[in-house]
C-alpha cells in the first residue's frame, strides 16, 4: 500500500504524505500551498466560494472536468486526478492573453464587486467551458446555482457566462494546458491502494472491490466515504473525529451505470451527475428533482449510494427510488444480499446493514413508469433540503388502479411507504375518488414531527395535497385556482375545488 497520494495541481505533479486523512483540500491549498484564491465562505458546500475544478477519468476513460467544493473534499479523494484552482487558469505562452476568457468576461460585464465569490464563479464557468456544456441559455443558471454572491447581483454574472458561448472554445494556450494535463494524468496513473494519514486519522483508498471489502471487514468501525458531501460536514461543522476512513471512489468496479437484466445497476462510486442521464431518461420528474438536488458541485461529488446509505429521512432519492421499486445490494467479504429499498431503512439512523457490509449497488428498474411522479417541497426552490418529498407510482389496467407505491420523505423517522393510502388506491377507478380516499388515509400512515424545516401540521397538509395533485395530473382534472398565502397548502380548499 502506498502511503503517498499523487495528483496534479495546476499542471504540476504533487506527492503528499504524512498529513491527517481528514485534511480538506481547501485547508491544504490555503494553509500549506498558500494558494488563497479559493475562499472559505461557509465550509459546508453551500456557497461555492471554494470551487476548484477536478479532472477525472470515468469508467470508459473519458475525462470530465468537475466543479468541486474544496471545503468538503478530503485530500485522499484527489489520488490520480488533476486539480485546477483559480491560480492555475492563467494563460501561459507567448500568444496568451493576460486573463483567461472566464476571467475576462467577468471584467467586461462588471461581474465582481468585493470579489470574494468571484474565483468560485470563474471556476464554475471554467468547468463548463472545459466540458463544452452548460453555458447555453438553458444551462447557465444550473451551472452557477452552487455559487452565491452577496454584492453584485446575478445579472452581470449570468451575462458574463453568456458571453463565453461566443468565445473561441479552445485557444492554443488552452490546448497546450489540456494536452499537458492528459500527459501528466497518464504519468501518475497506477493501480495501487493508497493511504493518506497520520496517527490521528487515516484515509484509505482501496483500488479494487476485493481490497475494499477486506479492508472494511478488518475495520468495520471505519467510516465509509463516497462523495463526502455528508461526511465532509461532520469534520468541518461538527468537528467529529474519525480515526479511519475508507473511500469507495478509487475502486474501478464501483464506477459506472450498467444494465443488469431488468435493472440499471449503480455502483457506490457513481455520482448523481453521472447517473442522471440514464435514470432520468423518460422520467421528467426524476430529472427535475435531481436538477434541484444541491448544486452542480454537490452532484458532481455526491453519490446515489451515499444518499441511500446515510439513511436520512429527508434524502431526495429514497422516496423516488422506492416508488420505482428499486432494490439495494449489500456486500461483505463473503456475503451478498439484496432487498427492496424500503426494507433497508429500519429506524432513524438505523439501516439493515451488518458490520463489515457496505452498499454494493442500487438496482433501479429499467422499465418505463408512465405514472411515476415526484414532488419536492422545500423552503427554497433550488439548492435546499426537502421538508416533504413524495415519490408516487401506480399501475393501471382496464381503467382501475392495480398497484400503488406512495413513498414519502420528511414524514417519519425513515423514508416510508404510505401503506394505508396505497390500500385506498388499489382497486379504485382511475378518477379522483381513490386519490381523495388516499389523501384522507394519510393520517393513519404518518404522525410527522415539527422541526426547523416545517411544522407537523404543514407536513400533514402538504403530503395530502401532493396525493391530490398526483391524482389531478393523472386524471387530467383541472387544478382549482387557489389564492392567498398558504391556500395552496390546504387540503380542504383542494377538496372544495374538486367537489
C-alpha cell at 223: 467510516
Note whether 120 binds ligand FAD by CB under 6 A.
no
* Binding-residue pattern over the window 221 to 240 for ligand FES, x denoting contact by CB under 6 A: --------------------
Q: Which of 21, 37, 46, 204 binds ligand FES (CB under 6 A)?
A: 46
Beta strands in 58-97 (DSSP E): 63-69, 82-84
Q: For residue 294, how many other CB atoms are within 10 A of its CB?
A: 23
44 secondary structure, DSSP code: S
Q: Which of these, 408, 387, 389, lies nearest to 452 by C-alpha position?
A: 387
CA atoms of 234 and 359, how far apart (whole Å): 20
Note whether 246 binds ligand FAD by CB under 6 A.
no
C-alpha cell at 18: 504524512
Q: For residue 444, how many other CB atoms are within 10 A of its CB?
A: 13
CA atoms of 451 and 449, how far apart (whole Å): 6
If phi > 0 it is left, if psi is from -120 to 50 it is alpha, else beta; for residue 395 that is beta
Note whether 159 binds ligand FES by CB under 6 A.
no
Q: Which residue has the cell 426547523?
A: 452
Q: Which of 36, 116, 420, 497 binds ligand FES (CB under 6 A)?
A: 116
Closest approach of Cβ 19 to ligand FAD, in Å?
20
Note whether 257 binds ligand FES by CB under 6 A.
no
Note whether 328 binds ligand FES by CB under 6 A.
no
Comparing CB distances to ligand FES, the nearer of 115 and 172 is: 115
CA atoms of 465 and 459, how far apart (whole Å): 10
Note whether 156 binds ligand FES by CB under 6 A.
no
* Binding-residue pattern over the window 27 to 66 for ligand FAD, x denoting contact by CB under 6 A: -----------------xxx--------------------
Q: Which of these, 397, 385, 386, 392, lies nearest to 418 by C-alpha position?
A: 392
Start-end of H helices in 38-139: 101-108, 118-131
CA 153 to each of CA 41, 55, 116, 158: distance values in angstroms, whole numbers, following the listed order: 17, 30, 13, 9
CA atoms of 337 and 335, how far apart (whole Å): 7
Q: Which of 43, 101, 111, 268 binds ligand FAD (CB under 6 A)?
A: 268
CA atoms of 270 and 257, how far apart (whole Å): 7
Start-end of H helices in 80-171: 101-108, 118-131, 140-144, 154-165
Note whether 358 binds ligand FAD by CB under 6 A.
yes
Note whether 197 binds ligand FAD by CB under 6 A.
no
71 binds, among ligand FES, ligand FAD, none (CB under 5 to 8 A by kind): ligand FES
Comparing CB distances to ligand FES, the nearer of 124 and 351 is: 124
If phi > 0 it is left, if psi is from -120 to 50 it is alpha, else beta; for residue 153 that is left
Q: Which of 43, 76, 227, 313 binds ligand FAD (CB under 6 A)?
A: 227
CA atoms of 40 and 182, how far apart (whole Å): 29
Stretch that binds ligand FAD, among 97-105, 310-318, 411-419, 446-454 (CB under 6 A): 310-318
Closest approach of Cβ 41 to ligand FES, in Å?
4
Comparing CB distances to ligand FES, the nearer of 115 and 132 is: 115
Note whether 228 binds ligand FAD by CB under 6 A.
yes
- CA atoms 424, 282, 138, 113: torsion sign: positive
Identify residues 52-111 at the interface with ligand FES (CB under 6 A). 69, 71
Q: Which of 5, 25, 49, 205 binds ligand FES (CB under 6 A)?
A: 49
Closest approach of Cβ 442 to ligand FES, in Å?
37
CA atoms of 465 and 15, how far apart (whole Å): 55
Q: Which of 20, 47, 228, 369 binds ligand FES (CB under 6 A)?
A: 47
150 binds, among ligand FES, ligand FAD, none (CB under 5 to 8 A by kind): ligand FES
391 binds, among ligand FES, ligand FAD, none (CB under 5 to 8 A by kind): none
Note whether 340 binds ligand FES by CB under 6 A.
no
Comparing CB distances to ligand FES, the nearer of 149 and 242 is: 149
Comparing CB distances to ligand FES, the nearer of 42 and 243 is: 42
* Binding-residue pattern over the window 285 to 304 for ligand FAD, x denoting contact by CB under 6 A: --------xx---x--xxx-
Note whether 153 binds ligand FES by CB under 6 A.
no
- Rg for the chain (alpha carbons), in Å? 24
Note whether 219 binds ligand FAD by CB under 6 A.
no
CA atoms of 123 and 102, how far apart (whole Å): 8
Note whether 467 binds ligand FAD by CB under 6 A.
no
Note whether 351 binds ligand FES by CB under 6 A.
no
Coil, strand, or helix at residue 480?
A: coil
217 secondary structure, DSSP code: H
Please work out, in degrees rounded to the nearest 5, the angle formed at the alpha carbon of residue 366 by the alpha carbons of 364 and 372. 80
Q: Which of 17, 113, 208, 383 binds ligand FES (CB under 6 A)?
A: 113
Q: Which residue has the cell 465550509?
A: 43
Closest approach of Cβ 203 to ligand FAD, in Å?
12
Q: Which residues form the interface with ligand FES (CB under 6 A)?
A: 40-43, 45-50, 69, 71, 112-118, 149-152
Q: Which residues form the interface with ligand FAD (CB under 6 A)?
A: 44-46, 223-231, 248, 268, 293-294, 298, 301-303, 305-307, 309-310, 315-316, 358-359, 385
Amino acid at each position: 500500500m502506498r502511503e503517498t497520494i499523487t495528483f496534479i495541481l495546476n499542471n504540476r505533479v504533487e506527492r503528499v504524505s504524512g498529513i491527517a486523512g481528514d485534511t480538506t483540500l481547501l485547508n491544504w491549498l490555503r494553509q500549506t500551498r498558500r494558494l488563497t484564491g479559493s475562499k472559505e465562505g461557509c465550509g459546508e458546500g453551500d456557497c461555492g466560494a471554494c470551487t476548484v475544478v477536478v479532472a477525472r477519468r470515468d469508467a470508459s476513460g473519458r475525462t470530465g472536468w468537475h466543479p468541486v467544493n474544496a471545503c468538503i473534499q478530503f485530500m485522499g479523494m484527489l489520488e490520480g486526478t488533476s486539480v485546477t484552482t483559480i491560480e492555475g487558469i492563467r494563460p501561459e505562452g507567448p500568444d496568451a492573453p493576460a486573463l483567461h476568457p472566464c476571467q475576462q468576461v467577468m471584467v467586461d460585464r462588471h461581474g465582481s464587486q468585493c470579489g470574494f465569490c468571484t474565483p468560485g464563479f470563474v471556476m464554475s464557468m471554467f468547468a463548463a467551458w472545459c466540458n463544452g456544456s452548460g453555458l447555453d441559455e438553458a444551462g447557465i443558471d444550473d451551472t452557477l446555482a452552487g455559487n452565491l454572491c452577496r454584492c453584485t447581483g446575478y445579472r452581470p454574472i449570468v451575462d458574463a457566462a453568456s458571453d463565453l458561448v461566443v468565445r473561441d472554445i479552445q485557444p492554443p494556450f488552452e490546448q497546450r494546458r489540456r494536452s499537458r494535463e492528459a500527459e501528466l494524468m497518464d504519468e501518475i496513473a497506477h493501480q495501487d491502494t493508497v493511504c493518506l494519514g497520520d496517527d490521528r486519522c487515516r484515509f484509505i483508498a482501496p483500488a479494487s472491490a476485493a481490497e475494499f471489502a477486506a479492508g472494511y471487514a478488518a475495520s468495520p468501525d471505519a467510516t465509509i466515504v463516497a462523495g463526502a458531501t455528508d461526511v465532509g460536514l461532520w469534520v468541518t461543522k461538527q468537528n467529529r473525529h474519525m480515526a479511519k476512513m475508507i473511500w469507495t471512489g478509487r475502486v474501478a468496479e464501483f464506477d459506472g451505470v450498467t444494465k443488469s437484466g431488468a435493472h440499471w445497476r449503480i455502483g457506490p462510486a457513481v455520482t448523481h451527475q453521472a447517473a442522471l442521464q440514464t435514470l432520468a431518461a423518460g422520467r421528467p420528474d426524476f430529472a427535475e428533482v435531481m436538477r434541484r438536488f444541491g448544486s452542480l458541485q454537490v452532484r458532481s461529488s455526491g453519490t446515489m449510494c451515499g444518499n441511500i446509505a446515510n439513511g436520512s429521512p429527508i434524502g431526495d432519492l429514497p422516496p423516488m427510488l422506492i416508488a420505482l421499486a428499486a432494490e439495494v445490494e449489500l456486500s461483505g467479504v463473503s456475503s451478498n444480499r439484496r432487498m427492496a429499498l424500503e426494507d433497508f431503512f429500519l429506524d432513524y439512523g438505523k439501516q439493515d446493514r451488518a458490520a463489515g457490509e457496505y452498499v454494493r449497488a442500487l438496482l433501479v428498474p429499467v422499465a418505463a413508469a408512465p405514472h411515476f411522479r415526484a414532488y419536492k417541497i422545500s423552503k427554497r426552490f433550488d439548492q435546499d433540503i426537502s421538508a416533504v418529498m413524495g415519490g408516487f407510482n401506480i399501475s393501471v389496467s382496464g381503467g382501475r388502479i392495480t398497484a400503488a407505491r406512495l413513498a414519502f420523505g420528511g414524514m417519519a423517522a425513515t423514508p416510508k411507504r404510505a401503506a394505508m393510502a396505497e390500500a385506498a388506491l388499489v382497486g379504485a377507478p382511475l378518477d379522483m375518488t381513490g386519490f381523495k380516499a388516499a389523501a384522507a388515509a394519510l393520517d393513519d400512515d404518518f404522525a410527522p414531527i415539527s422541526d426547523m424545516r416545517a411544522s407537523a401540521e404543514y407536513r400533514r397538509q402538504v403530503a395530502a395535497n401532493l396525493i391530490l395533485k398526483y391524482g389531478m395530473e393523472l386524471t387530467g382534472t383541472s387544478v382549482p385556482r387557489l389564492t392567498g398565502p398558504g391556500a395552496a397548502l390546504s387540503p380542504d380548499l383542494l377538496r372544495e375545488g374538486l367537489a
